[in-house]
Amino acid sequence: MPDAGANSLDAFWMPFTPNRRFKANPRLISGARDMNYITPDGREILDGTAGLWCVNAGHNRPRIVEAIQRQAAQLDYVSSFNMSHPLAFTFASRLAAMTPPGLDRIFFSNSGSESVDTALKIALAYQRARGKAGKTRLIGRERGYHGVGFGGISVGGIVRNRMYFGSLLTGVDHLPHTHGVAGNLFSRGQPDHGADLADVLERLVALHDASTIAAVIVEPVAGSTGVLIPPKGYLERLRALCDKHDILLIFDEVITGFGRVGAAFAAERFGVVPDIMCLAKGLTNAAAPAGAVAVSRTIHDAMMEGADAPIELFHGYTYSAHPLACAAGLATLDVYAEEGLFERALTLEPYWEAAMHSLADARHVIDIRNLGLIAGIELEPRPGKPTERAIEAYEAAFDAGLMIRVTGDIIALSPPLIIDKAQIDQIVDTLRAVLSRID
């Protein structure tokens, strides 16, 4: 047998990573605290991305750590198939009290990808339960990211996430994305133009007929594709069209949930309530894997009353409502509430916005977008070499003590909500210096 210790980097096939490039020059993290990651050699790296859009309350918060430790010592695991544990019901009730009015039935998953596939399956099962089994078509959006399950990549619209995996789900169509609309460059907050792109749903209804369409799913703010903020009126029009044609509206709030946009959820920030909402990431501050789907009582009750078998929904996960995840989630909600982190994000938004847009004259920058504590800084691609400039910026920023995220040629920023103004300035100063050195 080969020596497993000959190269300790070989065995781990890393996700969404250029493995060969990384393993030639690895960037490892061995610790974290509050706003900073810590490398094995003791360097602090300011976290400009909240891990992966998920560590909203900062790293290694004692209250959350202690809650997980206590729970692990009391109950490590119990299935939620035909049994459960008290924290599962407490956690669901706490979430139901936070979600928009009417979305108060909670189904637990373990990730954003699982939350999306759960939401899609609930949408299809609901249509069947109410006697409209012909409504099976799902509508996503170009450049949308809805995780990596087959359902999620089918309704998603990021090309390389889809192109390697065959024909995917059938009966799926896509709305156009809202990126690149004329007049929207360097918008602060919601851009002024592009609400009419929601009207393309009318064309899809004319093509397929509303009697075949089960649901539309969108990210209120598209994150992983490079921070696309919804134009003013866009989500409102989408909601109205779904109502008009008896189509469910699903918000993928895996990224936007739990304070990221200056409110508990984007649905609250924009005043548009979906029928189903997908949650994960900030749900547990990423201290334990967990996801959830908030479903309207109308959908839930129709499935309870229309069930044709004792089990109303043939769906679930081994780790649904895992005891450690529930403990982490409850402690996380306590931290959010006691420290007023959602309100803090809204209070910091003007400073964050001004700081981000101060990079408008930085080298290579061709657009900047922001909302809440999110920003997208778009770089001009190198001719014939898309993504290379952004990847070099990512590596240079890490070496300079800043963690950023890049997608295509876009730098995406989403720091923990505990960030202060000096740390915002540090992000801007570091990025300006990094961009000035990259060709």
Q: pLDDT tens per residue, the chain (439 residues)?
A: 455 555 689 999 999 999 999 999 999 999 999 999 999 999 999 999 999 999 999 999 999 999 999 999 999 999 999 999 999 999 999 999 999 999 999 999 999 999 999 999 999 999 999 999 999 999 999 999 999 999 999 999 999 999 999 999 999 999 999 999 999 999 999 999 999 999 999 999 999 999 999 999 999 999 999 999 999 999 999 999 999 999 999 999 999 999 999 999 999 999 999 999 999 999 999 999 999 999 999 999 999 998 999 999 999 999 999 999 999 999 999 999 999 999 999 999 999 999 999 999 999 999 999 999 999 999 999 999 999 999 999 999 999 999 999 999 999 999 999 999 999 999 999 999 999 999 9
- Total of domains in the chain: 2
Burial of 416 (0-12, 13-18, 19+ CB in 10 A): buried
Give CA–CA dist 57/69, Å, rounded.
18
Which region, left, alpha or beta, applies to residue 109 given φ > 0 means left and ψ of -120 to 50 means alpha? beta
Give CA–CA dist 43/400, Å, rounded.
10
* Three-point CA angle 248, 249, 255, nearest 5°: 145
In this structure, the number of other CB atoms found within 10 A of the CB of residue 44 comes to 14
Give CA–CA dist 337/270, Å, rounded.
21
Answer whether 189's CB lies under 8 Å from 372's CB. no
Cβ neighbours of residue 154 closer than 8 Å, sequence gap 6 or more: 138, 140, 162, 168, 169, 172
Among the three residues 339, 366, 391, which one is the final residue of a domain in this structure? 339
Q: Which CATH number does the domain housing residue 123 bear?
A: 3.40.640.10
Could you tell me which of 203, 206, 200, 160 has the C-alpha nearest to residue 177? 200
> Which pTM value belongs to this model?
0.97
Among the three residues 319, 339, 359, which one is the final residue of a domain in this structure? 339
Q: Which CATH number does the domain housing residue 400 bear?
A: 3.90.1150.10
Same domain for 70 and 40?
no
Burial of 312 (0-12, 13-18, 19+ CB in 10 A): middle
Assigned domain for 316 exists: yes
Same domain for 224 and 252?
yes
Predicted local distance difference test score (pLDDT) of residue 268: 98
Assigned domain for 7 exists: no
Assigned domain for 11 exists: no
Over residues 52-85, the pLDDT tens digits come to 999 999 999 999 999 999 999 999 999 999 999 9
Same domain for 72 and 50?
no
Same domain for 192 and 43?
no
In this structure, the number of other CB atoms found within 10 A of the CB of residue 242 comes to 22
Same domain for 139 and 158?
yes
Same domain for 186 and 196?
yes
**Is the Cα dihedral 136, 141, 143, 145 positive or negative?**
negative
DSSP 341-409: HHHHHHHHHHHHHHHHHGGGGSTTEEEEEEETTEEEEEEPPBTTBTTHHHHHHHHHHHHTTEE-EEETT
Over residues 15-57, the pLDDT tens digits come to 999 999 999 999 999 999 999 999 999 999 999 999 999 999 9
Among the three residues 314, 339, 364, which one is the final residue of a domain in this structure? 339
Predicted local distance difference test score (pLDDT) of residue 266: 98
Assigned domain for 6 exists: no
Strands 276-279, 248-252: parallel, antiparallel or unpaired by DSSP?
A: parallel
Same domain for 249 and 218?
yes
Assigned domain for 14 exists: no
Predicted local distance difference test score (pLDDT) of residue 3: 53
Q: What percent of the chain has pLDDT over 70?
A: 98
Same domain for 93 and 217?
yes
Provide the H-helix boundaries in 221-274. Answer: 234-244, 266-270
Tell me the residue range of the domain where 353 lies: 19-60+340-437
The strands making up 36-38's β-sheet, listed across from edge to edge, are 31-33, 36-38, 44-47, 402-403
Beta bridge partners of 141: 175
Answer whether 64's CB lies under 8 Å from 320's CB. no
Assigned domain for 3 exists: no
Same domain for 238 and 353?
no
Which single residue is written with the structure tokens 């393309």? 200
Same domain for 297 and 372?
no
Cβ neighbours of residue 310 closer than 8 Å, sequence gap 6 or more: none
Predicted local distance difference test score (pLDDT) of residue 428: 98
**Is the Cα dihedral 336, 52, 164, 159 positive or negative?**
positive
Could you tell me which of 388, 392, 408, 404 has the C-alpha nearest to residue 356? 404
In this structure, the number of other CB atoms found within 10 A of the CB of residue 270 comes to 23
Same domain for 345 and 335?
no
Which single residue is written with the structure tokens 């006691």? 338
**Is the Cα dihedral 284, 286, 291, 292 positive or negative?**
positive
Same domain for 70 and 152?
yes
Angle between helices 297-305 and 112-129 (to 10 degrees): 50
Beta bridge partners of 252: 278
DSSP 39-95: -TTS-EEEESSHHHHT-TT-BS-HHHHHHHHHHHHH------SS---HHHHHHHHHH
**Is the Cα dihedral 103, 109, 112, 116 positive or negative?**
negative
Assigned domain for 13 exists: no
Assigned domain for 157 exists: yes
